[in-house]
């Protein structure tokens, strides 16, 4: 992905797109078609590694949830379900705007592409701001694992595991969001410079894949972390 | 008569340092990996020498216990992450994969360069960790020792491994896309050289496995640094979970190490037997089968680590299943030689040495997979000997076979055939003497990672140390004649082995963009019997 | 350049479905389904993820190869989870007359496992 | 010089011979296939050798029957090995019903053994010949692994959990005890010996080394010193449940469900008392995490175990040591 973007950055602006001698066609590819396929395939493969990357944490999560259902129930209740649900909606919304950004690029609407990407970034920012306040609250309540960790009751040990996983999972997710935010900024700039055409919009598309993936991770994190035992089954 | 102008090659078309450090040429990147990996190899070898010297006597008289522990840890880290994993894919794979496919480059040349930089940064982190006190956890970083007890540079080393992991992921991703999308016209999947199949399988493991070690090491680092607790038994965590996650990658990583050398061996044996590989599709699919089955067996490293007995049964059974594709490959290689026209040049000698050692390594795996025996030999020198036979006897010998095979293509120069054969024999003998006795030691009960040991084990340890010195001579010899060939070697010619394969149809060293005209493939791989071979 | 262009209505429909499913998963979390809360929540999350992959990410219109890659990712994730759990879920089982204490016996596994399904009937 | 090197370690337990038989079987199988393949490769290399680089080999592409044969036959052989090895494994994992119980803790860098009669040993373990011995152990710090090569048994010591090995020694003598899981600086110094003695000698060793009463008695003293007995009254009317006749049975939990009362549950109840509260009782008990060492936990566990056959127990506060209880059973199950 970075390849395609960087390659593009090095190439001169493409006002007159032509399939054979397109300025964005790198020398080692035969056609834009081949280049596009390679780039999207590469992105999908990268996302596969991301699935397994988060997968290790999902394994730890599953194991400890089976072992410590009560601690999971109690610790999860410390999270604010309203903020969690709000953020879920925000992120799904950003996926929608991202899908529209790709669509605008596909149909050659440069200005609309910029607008949709800026909207996506705005929603991403909202998500991160909400996340910041959630983290802040955790710091204040000493729910950050480590020497200062405090948790009422007998489940303090396993609850610390829960919060370790909470911070690792959401922290990594937020890191991905920030990276996505930077990528979006680059893409918005490129779109603003009218670098995309219906013949060549690969960077928009593969950045979109990445953004949607980050959304999917959250779609799993939300029920796993916020909705553990709201029905009061274990405590 | 005028002196003909030297041909333009990827080596001579640019000369500046920047032209190397900023190159996007897969061939130059392969060479840059060669340089770093060779450094790591001699670094790891240095640590190994220290270990073997220390173990020549039962007492801990050469280095202190702490130093010894750091020695074997850093030997493992350097060799596993910076030699075995990148050796064949990143050096030989990078160099020959696009050539074999008839492509101008890999799919993402800049990403390829980035992988090298990521690799070097990871290596520098690890070197930094080594020179500022070292690390003593063993390359396996088992918790809670690594997270709580050790007071060495675990964080730095872990970060080095984490960063290097991304190099591996990006290389794997690049190779997979390249093989899918960059094949020359006519080069269908079943016309691909078997080296490509093995690289594809390897890339699959890299892409699927490496992220898990990345998250595991990251979790460990955070547990150590920020005192999070995921594996911490004090708050109810399970240290064995770390082992599960660690081996989910690190066992398939063994296949990252051994599959590409297997592919190189297929090339060498077919070329020097002047025959199609016996059972092409079985060899090809066995690579994929090894890659996939390799993901199902990791807990055989945990048979005495406290996993459930039922789980142990499942993993033992699956381990036997993964043994079959490796056996199939070996039988096919042997069968390929049947009624061949066997030209015993140096690469073939290395390949035959590989067969002998890999055979021992693979067969001794049957012992470690057998539950009843593994309880006794787990964490003893038997296991040490077993995996060295696979990783050094298999992976490194296969790497050398491949390096000797493609060396004339890479450098355009031919090394001394006779010295190469002598080196192969020295390495083979030295290797067997080093690690053969360790099987006996292990079954007699000598645990691994022991700085001092009971005196009754001394004779076998002395034999092993003696073998190690022979081995060292062999490796140094290889370095000498290969380097010498660059300066004094004869011109190799474009196809010195009279081999099939697209990489031999271009000049040696190749053009910057590999081929003058886009090659088109019209036949299967290794069609020696059909083919009028171009005589140089 | 090729590439499927979905109508805007499709995106709106998927967005709507995702929002509804989010509301459902929150709502259902407050209903005591015993041991089924977890599978239901995961089921809804998988459905949502599938919608995103198929429509927002255009996997539905992509090559077989892409689809295979997506499948591969989840297959190996499945392997990681299930094969690890073969250990954890069978650790507590009594395997021999000697009782507890054999290799593979976990201190915490067993009772918490037994607690979980057994509590089903009497949630407070 | 080399004649002195044995190929097998001493066989000193009932299962050692079984493990060695399996080992030798695999040696035979692998040697057969290894030598067969090696001979084939060397023979082909010699017979079909040529120095003419232009000669080409025969046109053979493969053979499906051969491929199937050398896939299926090795697979069947590995199945045999798998089945045999698994049966040996189960024997190694499954102690007989009557075992002599010994407790141990691993800590950097020593093994500490506790006998039921109260004898403590460090890096040395005395056991009688011809009797099944089960060592139950845990670790106080990092991973260790208890390894007796002469008995062919090994298991990792894991902090927070109990592991065990069992063996029945067949030879009088001294054998190695190793730590097989890397545990830091002095890992290779975490070694010791197991001394196998004639039963009579063992008895006299036991009586010569008594110190401070049996393990169960030490547990009882701890039980009183830690004031456990103020709540866990013998008649069941205390704030905590009576512990008489509990071990080996199962207990109903306040959260519903049952839990078998075994070493692990007793240990957990001492260190994390509110994890599984017995039905009908309040979660009042404080944790003893950090207050009781793993060795003392084992003593308490053994004490609770010793109460399994008693009708009424644990009500005599203030009478440490002078026990009216029958001596703790030396044999478990």
Q: Give residue D71's pLDDT.
A: 94
State whether D257 and D240 are in the same domain: yes
Dihedral through CA D59, CA D65, CA D70, CA D71, nearest 10? Answer: 120
Counting one residue from chain A and one from chain B, the pairs whose CB atoms sit within 8 A come to 125
- Please answer yes or no on whether D272 and A157 come within 8 Å at the CB atom: yes
Does residue D320 have a pLDDT over 50?
Answer: no
CA–CA separation, B143 vs B229, rounded Å?
11
CATH number of the structural domain spanning residue B170: 1.20.210.10
Of B79-83, B158-162, B531-535, D260-264, give the lowest mean pLDDT range.
B531-535
Task: Give percent of chain C with pLDDT exceeding 90.
Answer: 51
Which of C74, C76, C101 has the highest number of chain B CBs within 10 A, making it the mutation to test binding with B?
A: C76
**Percent helix, strand, coil in chain D (nearest 5)?**
35, 25, 40
For D142, the closest of B144, B304, B369 (CB atoms) is B144
C-proximal residues of B, 289-328, CB under 8 Å: 295-296, 298-299, 302, 304, 306-312, 314-315
On whether the CB atoms of residues D140 and D134 are closer than 8 A, the answer is no
List CB contacts (< 8 A) between D62 and chain B: 276, 278-282, 332, 335
SS3 D157: strand
The chain D residue lying nearest B70, using CA atoms, is D185
The chain A residue lying nearest B235, using CA atoms, is A157
List CB contacts (< 8 A) between A93 and chain C: 15
C-proximal residues of B, 206-245, CB under 8 Å: 208, 212, 236, 238, 240-241, 244
Confidence of residue B536 (pLDDT cuts 50, 70, 90): very low
- Would residue B513 count as lying in a domain? no
Cα angle: B176, vertex B174, B508; to 5 degrees: 100
Residue A138, min C-alpha distance to chain C (Å)? 22
Is residue D109 reached through a cis peptide bond, with omega within 30 degrees of 0 on the bond before it? yes
Residues of C with CB under 8 A from a CB of D: 95-108, 110-111, 114-115, 117-119, 121-122
Q: Is B308 on the interface with A (CB under 8 A)?
A: no
Per the structure, how many domains does chain D have?
A: 3
Mean pLDDT in residue range D262-269? 82
List CB contacts (< 8 A) between B327 and chain D: 33, 70-71, 74
> Which of the other chains make 3 or more beta carbon contacts under 8 angstroms with chain D?
A, B, C
**Percent helix, strand, coil in chain C (nearest 5)?**
70, 0, 30
Q: What is the number of alpha carbons within 13 Å of residue B135 lying toward its C-beta?
A: 30
- For residue D175, which of D106, D131, D125 has the smallest C-alpha distance? D125
- Would residue B90 count as lying in a domain? yes
- Would residue A14 count as lying in a domain? no
* Per-residue pLDDT tens digits for A148-181: 898 887 788 899 999 999 999 999 999 999 999 9
Q: Give residue D325's pLDDT.
A: 40
- Would residue D131 count as lying in a domain? yes
CA–CA separation, B445 vs C80, rounded Å?
33
State whether D242 and D274 are in the same domain: yes
Q: In this structure, is the dihedral angle defined by the CA atoms of residues B489, B493, B499 and B504, taken in order, positive or negative?
A: positive
Task: Give percent of chain A with pLDDT exceeding 90.
Answer: 66
Q: What is the number of alpha carbons within 13 Å of residue D273 lying toward its C-beta?
A: 13
Of A18-27, A192-201, B172-181, B428-437, give the lowest mean pLDDT range.
A18-27
Does residue D26 have a pLDDT over 90?
Answer: yes
Complex ipTM: 0.88
Q: Give residue B329's pLDDT.
A: 94
Mean pLDDT in residue range A22-39? 83
Residue B234, min C-alpha distance to chain C (Å)? 13
- Would residue A167 count as lying in a domain? yes
Does residue B227 have a pLDDT over 50?
Answer: yes
Per the structure, how many domains does chain A have?
A: 1
Which of A1, A6, A28 has the highest number of chain B CBs within 10 A, making it the mutation to test binding with B?
A: A28
SS3 A40: helix
Q: Which domain holds residue B452?
A: 26-504
Is residue B509 reached through a cis peptide bond, with omega within 30 degrees of 0 on the bond before it? yes
- For residue D327, which of D117, D183, D131 has the smallest C-alpha distance? D117
Does residue D3 have a pLDDT over 70?
Answer: no
Q: What's the distance, CA C61 to chain centroid? A: 25
Q: What is the pTM of this model?
A: 0.89
DSSP string over A43-74: HHHHHHHHHHHHHHHHHHHHHHHHH-HHHHHH
For C107, the closest of D93, D162, D253 (CB atoms) is D162
Task: Give percent of chain B with pLDDT exceeding 90.
Answer: 88
> Which of the other chains make 3 or more beta carbon contacts under 8 angstroms with chain A?
B, C, D
Of B512-516, D118-122, D267-271, give the lowest mean pLDDT range.
D267-271
Q: Is D163 on the interface with B (CB under 8 A)?
A: yes
Tokens of D187: 């890992």
The DSSP letter of residue D135 is E
The dihedrals phi and psi of C57, each to the nearest 5 degrees, come to -95, 5
Q: Give residue A156's pLDDT.
A: 85
CATH number of the structural domain spanning residue D280: 1.10.760.10
CATH number of the structural domain spanning residue A82: 1.20.120.80
- Would residue D299 count as lying in a domain? yes
- Would residue D263 count as lying in a domain? yes
> How many residues does the structure list for chain C?
124
Pairing of strands D120-122, D144-148: unpaired
For C104, the closest of B180, B295, B307 (CB atoms) is B307
Does residue B16 have a pLDDT over 50?
Answer: yes
List CB contacts (< 8 A) between C119 and chain D: 255-257
CA–CA separation, A111 vs D287, rounded Å?
65
Q: Which domain holds residue D296?
A: 215-321
- Would residue D327 count as lying in a domain? no
Does residue A133 have a pLDDT over 60?
Answer: yes
- Would residue B10 count as lying in a domain? no
CA–CA separation, A109 vs A101, rounded Å?
9
- For residue C16, which of D182, A94, A175, A96 has the smallest C-alpha distance? A96
Does residue D235 have a pLDDT over 80?
Answer: no
- Please answer yes or no on whether C119 and D161 come within 8 Å at the CB atom: no
Element (H, E) at D222: helix D215-225
* Residue A101: exposure state from Cβ atoms within 10 A (0-12, 13-18, ≥19): buried
Which of B291, B304, B309, B314 has the highest number of chain C CBs within 10 A, making it the mutation to test binding with C?
A: B309
Q: Give residue D248's pLDDT.
A: 79
- Would residue A9 count as lying in a domain? no
Tokens of B383: 């296991």
Which of D185, D208, D231 lies at the terminal end of a domain, its last residue? D208
- Please answer yes or no on whether B208 and C95 come within 8 Å at the CB atom: no
List CB contacts (< 8 A) between B335 and chain D: 62, 66
CA–CA separation, A32 vs A28, rounded Å?
11
Cα angle: B47, vertex B53, B58; to 5 degrees: 125
Does residue A19 have a pLDDT over 70?
Answer: no
List CB contacts (< 8 A) between D272 and chain B: 236
Q: Which domain holds residue A144?
A: 30-226
The DSSP letter of residue D329 is P
Per the structure, how many domains does chain B have?
A: 1
Tokens of D212: 């401070």
State whether D145 and D240 are in the same domain: no
Q: Is A47 on the interface with B (CB under 8 A)?
A: no
- Please answer yes or no on whether D255 and A154 come within 8 Å at the CB atom: no
Residue C97, min C-alpha distance to chain A (Å)? 25
Residues of A with CB under 8 A from a CB of D: 70, 153-155, 157, 234
State whether D237 and D302 are in the same domain: yes
Cβ neighbours of residue B532 closer than 8 Å, sequence gap 6 or more: none
- Would residue D312 count as lying in a domain? yes
- Please answer yes or no on whether B376 and D153 come within 8 Å at the CB atom: yes
List CB contacts (< 8 A) between C117 and chain D: 257
CA–CA separation, B159 vs B168, rounded Å?
14
Does residue A234 have a pLDDT over 70?
Answer: yes
For B282, the closest of D6, D58, D62 (CB atoms) is D62
Residue D146, min C-alpha distance to chain B (Å)? 10
For C26, the closest of A32, A48, A85 (CB atoms) is A85
* Per-residue pLDDT tens digits for D89-147: 999 998 998 899 999 999 998 999 999 888 889 999 999 999 999 999 999 999 999 99
CA–CA separation, B117 vs B138, rounded Å?
26
Residue B515, min C-alpha distance to chain A (Å)? 11
State whether D296 and D257 are in the same domain: yes
Residue C50, min C-alpha distance to chain A (Å)? 9
Look at the block and give the residue holding tokens 């807990």. B299
């Amino acid at each position: 992905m970075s390849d395609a973007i960087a390659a593009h950055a090095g190439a001169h602006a493409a006002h007159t797109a032509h399939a054979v001698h397109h300025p964005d066609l790198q020398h080692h590819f035969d056609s834009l078609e081949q280049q596009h396929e390679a780039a999207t395939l590469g992105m999908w493969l990268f996302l596969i590694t991301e699935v397994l990357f988060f997968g290790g944490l999902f394994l730890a999560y599953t194991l400890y949830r089976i072992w410590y259902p009560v601690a999971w129930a109690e610790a999860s209740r410390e999270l604010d379900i309203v903020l969690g649900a709000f953020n879920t909606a925000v992120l799904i919304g950003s996926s929608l705007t991202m899908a529209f950004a790709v669509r605008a690029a596909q149909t050659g609407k440069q200005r609309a592409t910029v607008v949709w990407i800026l909207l996506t970034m705005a929603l991403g920012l909202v998500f991160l701001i909400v996340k910041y306040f959630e983290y802040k609250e955790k710091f204040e309540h000493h729910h950050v694992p480590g020497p200062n960790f405090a948790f009422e009751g007998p489940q303090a040990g396993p609850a610390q595991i829960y919060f370790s996983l909470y911070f690792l999972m959401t922290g990594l997710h937020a890191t991905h969001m920030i990276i996505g935010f930077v990528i979006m900024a680059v893409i918005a700039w490129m779109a603003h410079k009218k670098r995309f055409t219906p013949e060549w919009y690969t960077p928009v598309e593969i950045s979109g894949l990445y953004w949607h993936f980050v959304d999917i991770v959250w779609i799993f994190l939300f029920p796993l972390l916020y909705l553990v035992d709201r029905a009061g089954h274990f405590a | 008569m005028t002196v003909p102008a030297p041909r333009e090659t990827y080596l001579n078309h640019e000369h500046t340092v920047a032209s190397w450090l900023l190159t996007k040429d897969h061939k130059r990147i392969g060479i840059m990996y060669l340089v770093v990996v060779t450094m790591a190899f001699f670094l790891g070898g240095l640590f190994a020498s220290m270990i073997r010297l220390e173990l020549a006597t039962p007492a801990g008289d050469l280095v202190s216990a702490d130093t010894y522990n750091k020695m074997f840890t850093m030997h493992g880290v350097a060799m596993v992450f910076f030699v075995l994993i990148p050796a064949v894919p990143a050096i030989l794979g990078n160099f020959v994969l696009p050539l074999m496919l008839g492509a101008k480059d890999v799919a993402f040349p800049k990403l390829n360069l980035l992988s090298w930089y990521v690799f070097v940064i990871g290596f520098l982190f690890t070197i930094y960790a080594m020179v500022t006190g070292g690390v003593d956890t063993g390359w396996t970083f088992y918790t809670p020792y690594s997270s709580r007890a050790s007071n060495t540079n675990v964080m730095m080393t872990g970060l080095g491994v984490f960063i290097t992991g991304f190099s591996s992921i990006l290389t794997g991703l690049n190779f997979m896309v390249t093989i899918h999308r960059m094949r020359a016209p006519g080069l269908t999947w079943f016309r691909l050289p078997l080296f490509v199949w093995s690289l594809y399988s390897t890339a699959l493991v890299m892409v699927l496995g490496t992220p898990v070690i990345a998250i595991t090491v990251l979790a460990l680092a955070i547990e150590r640094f920020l005192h999070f607790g995921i594996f911490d038994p004090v708050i109810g965590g399970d240290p064995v979970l770390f082992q599960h996650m660690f081996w989910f990658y690190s066992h398939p990583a063994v296949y990252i190490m051994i599959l590409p050398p297997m592919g190189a061996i297929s090339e060498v044996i077919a070329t020097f037997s002047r025959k199609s590989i016996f059972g092409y599709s079985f060899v090809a699919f066995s690579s994929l089968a090894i890659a996939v089955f390799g993901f199902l067996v990791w807990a055989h490293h945990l048979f005495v680590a406290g996993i459930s007995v039922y789980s142990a049964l499942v993993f033992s059974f699956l381990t036997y299943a993964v043994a079959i594709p490796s056996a199939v490959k070996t039988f096919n290689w042997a069968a390929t030689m049947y009624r061949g026209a066997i030209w015993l040049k140096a690469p073939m000698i290395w390949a035959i040495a590989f067969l002998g050692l890999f055979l021992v390594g693979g067969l001794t795996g049957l012992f470690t997979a057998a539950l009843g025996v593994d309880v006794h030999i787990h964490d003893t020198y038997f296991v040490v000997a077993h995996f060295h036979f696979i990783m050094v006897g298999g992976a490194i010998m296969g790497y050398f076979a491949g390096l000797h095979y493609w060396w004339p293509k890479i450098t355009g120069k031919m090394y001394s055939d006779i010295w190469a054969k002598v080196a192969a024999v020295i390495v083979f003998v030295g290797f067997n003497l080093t690690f053969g006795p360790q099987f006996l030691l292990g079954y007699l009960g000598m645990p691994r990672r022991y700085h001092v040991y009971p005196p009754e084990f001394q004779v076998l340890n002395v034999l092993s140390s003696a073998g190690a010195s022979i081995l060292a001579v062999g490796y140094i010899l290889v370095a000498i004649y290969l380097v010498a060939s660059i300066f004094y070697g004869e011109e190799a010619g474009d196809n010195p082995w009279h081999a099939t394969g697209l990489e031999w149809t271009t000049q040696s060293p190749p053009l910057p963009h590999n081929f003058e005209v886009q090659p088109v493939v019209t036949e299967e791989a290794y069609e020696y019997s059909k083919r009028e071979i171009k005589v140089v | 350049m090729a590439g499927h262009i979905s109508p805007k209505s499709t995106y709106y429909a998927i967005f709507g479905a995702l929002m509804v499913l989010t509301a459902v998963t929150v709502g259902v979390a407050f209903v005591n389904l015993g041991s089924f809360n977890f599978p239901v929540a995961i089921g809804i999350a998988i459905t949502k993820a599938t919608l995103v992959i198929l429509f927002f990410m255009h996997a539905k219109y992509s090559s077989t190869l892409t689809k295979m890659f997506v499948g591969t990712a989840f297959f190996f994730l499945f392997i990681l989870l299930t094969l690890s759990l073969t250990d954890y879920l069978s650790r507590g089982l009594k395997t021999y007359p000697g009782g507890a204490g054999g290799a593979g016996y976990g201190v915490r596994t067993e009772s918490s496992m037994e607690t979980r399904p057994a509590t089903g009937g009497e949630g407070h | 010089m080399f004649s002195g090197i044995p190929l097998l370690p001493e066989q000193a337990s009932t299962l050692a011979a079984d493990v060695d038989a399996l080992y030798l079987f695999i040696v035979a199988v692998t040697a057969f296939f290894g030598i067969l393949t090696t001979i084939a490769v060397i023979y082909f290399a010699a017979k079909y050798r040529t120095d003419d680089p232009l000669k080409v080999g025969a046109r053979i592409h493969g053979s499906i029957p051969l491929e199937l044969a050398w896939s299926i036959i090795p697979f069947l052989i590995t199945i045999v090995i798998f089945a045999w090895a698994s049966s040996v494994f189960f024997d190694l994992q499954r102690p007989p019903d009557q075992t002599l119980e010994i407790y141990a803790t691993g800590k950097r860098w020593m093994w500490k053994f506790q006998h039921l009669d109260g004898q403590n040993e460090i890096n040395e373990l005395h056991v009688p010949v011809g009797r099944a011995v089960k060592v139950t152990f845990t670790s106080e710090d990092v991973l260790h692994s208890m390894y007796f090569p002469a008995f062919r048994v090994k298991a990792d010591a894991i902090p927070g959990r109990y592991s065990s090995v069992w063996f029945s020694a067949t030879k009088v003598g001294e054998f190695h005890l190793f730590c097989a899981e890397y545990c830091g600086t002095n890992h290779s110094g975490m070694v010791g010996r197991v001394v196998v003695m004639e039963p009579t000698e063992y008895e006299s060793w036991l009586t010569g080394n008594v110190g401070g009463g049996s393990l169960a008695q030490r547990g009882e003293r701890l039980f009183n010193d830690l004031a456990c007995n103020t709540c866990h009254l013998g008649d069941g009317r205390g704030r905590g449940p009576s512990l008489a006749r509990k071990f080996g049975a199962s207990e109903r939990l306040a959260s519903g469900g049952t839990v078998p009362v075994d070493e692990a549950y007793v240990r957990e109840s001492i260190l994390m008392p509110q994890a599984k509260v017995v039905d009908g009782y309040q979660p009042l008990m404080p944790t003893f995490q950090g207050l009781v060492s793993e060795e003392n936990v084992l003593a308490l566990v053994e004490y609770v175990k010793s109460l399994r056959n008693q009708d009424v127990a644990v009500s005599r506060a203030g009478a440490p040591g002078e026990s009216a209880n029958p001596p703790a059973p030396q044999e478990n199950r």
